Amino acid sequence: MKIRQFDWLLFRLVPWLGSRWLKFLGFSMRLECRGIEQVTTLSNQGKNIIFAFWHGRQLMLPITYQMHRKGRKMAVLISQHRDGEFISRTIKYFGLDSARGSTYRGAVRGLKRLVGLLNQGMDVGITPDGPRGPKYKAQPGAVELAKLSGMPIVPATFGAVKKKLSPVGII
């Protein structure tokens, strides 16, 4: 019983703290989006978008999506594992939804849900390499999703560069 109460607390506290930490990071750095014109063009054509991002390169994507896709909804494919539950609850603080499934558990159900969400007018996000990898080697899920839905895949990533300080001060 105590373990369940502790889990309940963790599943409420960790996502809230995680979302606040991400928002703080977002405010503390200068975010630059490149290639957003392609996304705008596809939106103007009435297309919903499949955003594909590597598993280890997605940290600030909830914030950049919120910045550049105001008024749009997005669902992200997230594993059914316990860690996935933390991520699923955290992204809700950014107005994002989740579809649960992965290559190894619930793949077909997750893919069907994403197709349905795309048909309802939402964008979706998927990590083609997944948490188990191999790192930066795409599995067929994103391409299969594009085939089934007829929607375009747009690659997305996040990278950070530490700004060098001059001897005089911060520039």
Entry pTM? 0.82
Instruction: Supply the pLDDT for residue 103.
Output: 64
The residues that bridge with 75 in the sheet, in sequence order, are 97, 124
| Domain boundary assignment for the chain | 2-155
Amino acid, res. 171? I
The CA distance from 139 to 113, in Å, is 18
Both tokens of 72, joined, read 């749009």
Residue 61: the pLDDT is 85
Look at residue 138 in the predicted model and tell me its pLDDT: 86
Q: Which residues of the chain have pLDDT under 70?
A: 1-5, 103-104, 106, 163-171
Looking at residue 148, its pLDDT comes to: 92
Contact 65, 94 (CB under 8 A): yes
